[in-house]
Structure 1
Amino acid sequence: MDQSILVYAFTALAILLPCLYLALILLSPPPIITRPSEKTYRSRKSLKDPLSLPSLADVGSIDLSVIIPAYNETSRLPSMLETTLNHLNSTSIQQTRTYELVIVDDGSKDDTSTLALKLAQQHLNSDIRVVTLEKNLGKGGAVRHGMLHARGNRLLMVDADGASRFEDLELLWEKMDELGPKNEPSVVVGSRAHLVKTEAVVKRSVLRNILMYGLHTILRIVGVGHIRDTQCGFKLFSRSAAQQIFPAQHLATWIFDVELLLLAKQLGIPVAEVPVQWHEVAGSKLNVVKDSLQMLRDLLVLRANQLTGRWKVLP
């Protein structure tokens, strides 16, 4: 009797494991493909004739690259860029830091790219590059694309809605200086964790707050519980860290931030968290219920692929 139960269990396991592995393959996103037109950019100096993008594998040639993923952002992008450029072009910053803005239009259905180029023409002293993706990848795909073609020795990802106070870049910059030499891998993330008890979070919907706490619980289980706010779209990477992390990124959806932090942890790259100011901006593309369920699915897919060795981390 006992032997027959054991045989039955082994048989069931032999059937279940391949089925689970097949399900993992089917649920995993396909490789992110870069089309020929997406390897080029336009700027105020090349409005009609796109120029070739550089590679993250190259040696950095400027101090800072600001990567701005943008999907249907004609209403929010102008004010965000104005705030960003006011800070970067201030006398104290301009004299010590060279920079570029890489706006990645994530297959927008509106005139985001056209507007971005018009704004570039209005700011003659700023290096604004506009990359247009042929199809919508998701925020993570747009950030990855911009990072893979940036020139900065430090690379900042920032949302196009202007929810984060751009001046807080200096807090992230100082913390990265503290982590070690400039050529060493390091990551500094902006954090809204200190705002949990404030009106900025309290006034959000009950459902959104419940989902937020649920996500934090899951993140502790999968190994990034040491970061209190994984989802803030304000993160600074040293070039050497970006060179290791972004080529290994697979997820293009909302949970991509978690993958970046998991990769950093697995690669032994130090990650620091710095409180930043943040305010909610109308026009969010996030569907709370739908995207939260997608985040959970993608998180399970991410960990399963890493644990089975399908997605390997190479230092």
Structure 2
Amino acid sequence: MSDVEVSVVLPAYNEEATIERTVEVTLETLASFLPAGAFEVIVAEDGCDDRTPEIATRLADEDDRVRHVHSDERLGRGGALEYAFERAEGETLVYFDTDLATDMKHLEELVESVRSGEYDVATGSRWMPDNQADRPTKRAVSSLGYNTLVRLFLRSDMQDHQCGFKAISRETFDALRSEVEDEHWFWDTEVLVLAQRRGYRVREFPVDWEPKGDTKVDLVRDVFGMGSQILRTWWQLSVSPRISRRVSMAAGSLLVMLALVVAVGVVFDLQAVFDAMSGADPRLVAASGAVYLLSWPLRGLRYRDILDRLGFTGDTWFLTGAIFISQTGNLVFPARLGDGVRAYVVKARRDVPYPSGFASLAIERVFDLLAITVLGGSVLVGLVLTGGTEQIAEAIAAEIPPVQIGGETIDAGAAARTALRVAAGVGAAAVLGVLAILASARLEGDYVHRAVTTVSNDSYADYVSGVIAQFVGDVQAVVSDRGAFLRVGVGSLAIWVVDVATALVVFHAFGVDVTTALVATAFFAVSVGNLAKVLPLSPGGIGLYEGAFTLIVFGLTEEVAVPVAFAVSIVDHVVKNVVTILGGLVSMAWLNVSLTTAVEESREAGEVEAAAATED
């Protein structure tokens, strides 16, 4: 049985200039507070292509306290640590960066924090009070931003997750290693987050730290690589455990009803809204759902035209099903994660690369915004020219008293003006975006690559610039082609005309006469409502659509009272969401696609492609 209690692992990749000195300092420091034979130093050499393996082997031959653990292939920093820890003999596992940036006077405190049994995990910190850390601006900004995101999304109590100076007990490592998925720079952050979530005792203490040599921090790699790992871990720890098939089926509808009840209770007489809803003709409400269903094959046709221009084929019904599934995902999941589901489906079933899959989604969004802007723009221009926006604001302010929310007074009239300005701004941004894409299509040269590489010379930057260039090129291919632009544009207008027709049927179900003025109002209300929910501030734009819709209808029509306008917006949005969810469920069964599986596999496939690209 070995007498080794403490195993110190030095992760090394091409460290021929420093590894020998690092091993010497480590041995000297450990010998100053640990008994002879109670420790070992392991050089975890990770597929190096310099003289590091040769030096590590010689050091191990010369001193039996040193071991060389070699890997023929690159495992990544986290992978190399795991590989070495599994072969280590000590019950206290320690590692730190080979550049010795952290003052070695702290090594005893680090080791004894865990060796004594007082803590399960210990880590040095460069962001706690009482430490000294000489952080260059580039490192300080990226480190502060990264740690802030980890604390915000992953609910960590640590101030510094990436300090390369940590210790963990063998028991804790064995319990957590199967849950840790990252194999590179995010590995130790994931260990810290999981240890806290599982209730292990984690200690963070200040250390003196001074960078040695050139930083390996890269802006592009960190933003896209580490950021994606934060989102992946957040999803696995906070979202995925709460999602089951039953939850997926019901979540969209439940969120709709909850948000609407809250919104109605704040602003309107709840009973008046319910009375208006109870008086609606159920047959016409059902008919509105049938009308809205007609827009979905149109969406499939439009998506087929987009993919065809990008060089990919797909039948209309398959693509309609894929859109149903992705839009259902957007209702169930936050931050429009359903868009990734569609990219996964067309990648898995039609071999459309992810950059092209996401570009096709972006093209849809651009044309949706343009269509909405065109349909509502004429009404908006007329209102602006005739002072109609003031009419809306004054009508709302007269009917709806100021509302107290969070200790602040919200003026309904001011809110109406703001909503209209935001809608106009989003529409203008869509038009300007298309003009920018058209202009860039005429430019020659790899401007994307130049822009990305000005902030990074890492291999990952080449991958990212390539993805962005392909994405921009795919968008340009459709927008700059007159025939494709016309087909997709007309299809988009048809889709949104059906959307407005659905709302008009709902109005009729509530006993409101469908006049020319109401048709114009409906076009404007639906347009502004959808512009208001462009940003994914709530699943499916719940609350945002209803609020904007009600402001417009009430402000422009004297015959539609506030409770009725809000009731119409509720039913209109619920009908559309119910059709979307039902279509999504049917499509998932037809195409044998699971939402949660698709989200996970799209993320994993993207990471594999990125990893493969950076190794080329």
2:589 matched to which residue of 1?
none
Q: How far is the alpha carbon of 1:61 from its aligned partner?
A: 5.1
Q: Among residues 19, 26, 35, which one is paired with 1:94 in the alignment?
A: 35
Q: Measured at CA, do residues 144 and 177 of structure 1 come closer, stay the same or move farther in structure 2, by a change above 3 Å?
A: closer
Q: Is the 8 A contact 1:147 1:246 kept in 2?
A: no
| Deviation (angstroms), 1:99 | 1.0
SS in 2 for 1:193: coil
Aligned AA (2:86): L
Write out per-residue CA displacement over residues 196-220 of structure 1, whole angstroms, 9 at most, x where no aligned residue. Answer: 995602xx03x43222221122111
Look up the match of 2:126.
192
Q: Secondary structure at the match of 1:152?
A: coil
Query: Which residue of structure 1 lines up, in the alignment, with residue 87 of structure 2?
Result: 149
Q: Please report how far the alpha carbon of residue 224 of structure 1 lies from its aligned counterpart in structure 2 after TM superposition.
A: 4.3
Hey, what's the Cα distance between the residues in 1 that align with 2:100 and 2:93? 17
1:127 aligns with 2:61: no
User: 1:198/1:103 Cα in 2 relative to 1: closer, same or farther (>3 Å)?
Assistant: closer
Q: Deviations over 1:14-41 (max 9, x none)?
A: xxxxxxxxxxxxxxxxxxxxxxxxxxxx
Give the corresponding residue for 2:76: 138
Q: 1:247: how far off?
A: 2.9
CA–CA separation in structure 1 for the residues paired with 2:129 and 2:60: 34
- Kindly provide the CA deviation profile for residues 37-73 of structure 1, in whole angstroms up to 9, marking residues without a partner as x: xxxxxxxxxxxxxxxxxxxxxx985210111111111
Query: Cα distance 1:114–1:175, how it changes in 2: closer, same or farther (>3 A)?
Result: same
What is the aligned partner in structure 1 of residue 111 from structure 2? 173
Cα distance in 2 for partners of 1:269, 1:60 equals: 27
Matched residues in 2 for 1:230 and 1:199: separation? 15
How far did 1:158 drift?
1.3
Correspondent of 1:214 among 145, 167, 171: 145
CA–CA distance in 2 between the matches of 1:178 and 1:150? 19
> Secondary structure of the equivalent of 1:268?
coil
On the 8 A contact 2:121/2:200 being kept in 1, the answer is: yes
Secondary structure of the residue aligned to 2:34 is helix
Choose which of 16, 20, 23 in structure 2 pairs with 1:74.
Answer: 16
Is 2:97 the partner of 1:159? yes
Q: 1 CA distance for matches of 2:228 and 2:4?
A: 38
What is the CA–CA distance in structure 1 between the aligned matches of 2:240 and 2:26, rounded to whole Å? Answer: 42
Partner of 2:590: none
* Residue-by-residue CA offset, 1:170-224 (whole Å, 9 max, x unaligned): 11234336663xxxx71111111147995602xx03x432222211221111234
Mean alpha-carbon deviation: is it higher for 214-223 or for 68-77?
214-223
Question: Rg bigger for which structure?
Answer: 2
Question: What secondary structure, in the 3-state scheme, does the structure 2 residue paired with 1:102 have?
Answer: strand
Partner amino acid, structure 1, of 2:14: N
Task: Write the distance in 2 (CA, Å) between the matches of 1:82 and 1:112.
Answer: 15
What number of residue pairs does the alignment pair up? 242
| Structure-2 change in CA distance of 1:60 and 1:153 (3 Å) | farther
8 A Cα contact 1:165 1:276, kept in partner: yes
Letter in 1 for 2:17: S
Whether 2:186 is the aligned partner of 1:248: answer no
- Identity across matched positions, percent: 29
1:246 Cα offset (Å): 2.0
Counterpart residue number, 1:110: 50
Kindly indicate which of the two structures has a greater share of residues assigned to helix: 2
Matches within 5 A, 1:282-301: 282-301=213-232
DSSP 3-state at the match of 2:27: helix
Question: What corresponds to 1:223 in structure 2?
Answer: 154
How far off is 1:93 after superposition?
A: 2.5
Counterpart secondary structure, 1:247: coil
SS state of the match for residue 91, structure 2? strand
Closer/same/farther in 2, CA of residues 210 and 197 from structure 1, 3 Å limit = farther
TM-score with structure 1 length normalisation?
Answer: 0.69
From 51, 59, 63, give the equivalent of 2:5: 63
Q: Which has the higher contact order (CA 8 A, sep 6+)?
A: 1
Distance in 2, Cα, partners of 1:107 & 1:76:
17
* Aligned counterpart for 1:233 among listed residues 144, 156, 164: 164
Deviations 1:231-257 (A, max 9, x none): 011111112111112232210121112
The 1:235/1:300 distance shift into structure 2, 3 A limit, reads same
Secondary structure of 1:222's counterpart equals helix
SS in 1 for 2:168: strand
The 8 Å contact of residues 126 and 133 in structure 2, kept in 1 or not, is answered as: no
Q: Paired residue for 2:409?
A: none
What is the rounded CA distance, in whole Å, between the counterparts of 1:98 and 1:199 in structure 2? 31
* C-alpha contact 1:148 1:247 (8 A) present in aligned 2: no
- C-alpha distance in 2 between matches for 1:72 and 1:177: 31
CA distance in 1, matches of 2:114, 2:8: 16
Distance 1:199 1:105, change over 3 A: closer
| Aligned position for 2:611 | none
1:162 counterpart SS class: coil
For 1:262, the aligned partner's letter is V
Deviation at 1:98, TM superposition (A): 0.6
Question: Following the alignment from structure 1 to structure 2, what is the Cα–Cα distance between the partners of residues 234 and 294?
Answer: 22
8 Å CA contact 2:46, 2:74 repeated in 1: yes
1:308 aligns with 2:240: yes
| 1:19 match | none
Amino acid at match of 2:174: Q
Distance 2:22 2:131 in 1: 26
Aligned residue number for residue 353 of structure 2: none
Contact 1:144-1:249 at 8 Å conserved across structures: no
Q: Secondary structure at the match of 2:7?
A: strand
Say if 1:291 and 1:108 are closer, same or farther in 2 by CA, change over 3 A. farther
Residues in 2 aligned to 1:134 and 1:305: alpha-carbon distance in whole angstroms: 31
For 2:442, the equivalent position in structure 1 comes to: none
- For 1:62, what is the secondary structure of its paired residue? coil
Please list every run of 5 or more consecutive structure 2 residues that lacks an aligned counterpart in the other structure.
242-596, 601-616
Change (3 A) 1:246 1:279: same
Cα distance in 1 between the residues matched to 2:159 and 2:116: 20
| Corresponding residue for residue 376 of structure 2 | none
**TM-score of the two chains, using structure 2 as the length reference:** 0.37
Change (3 A) 1:155 1:94: same
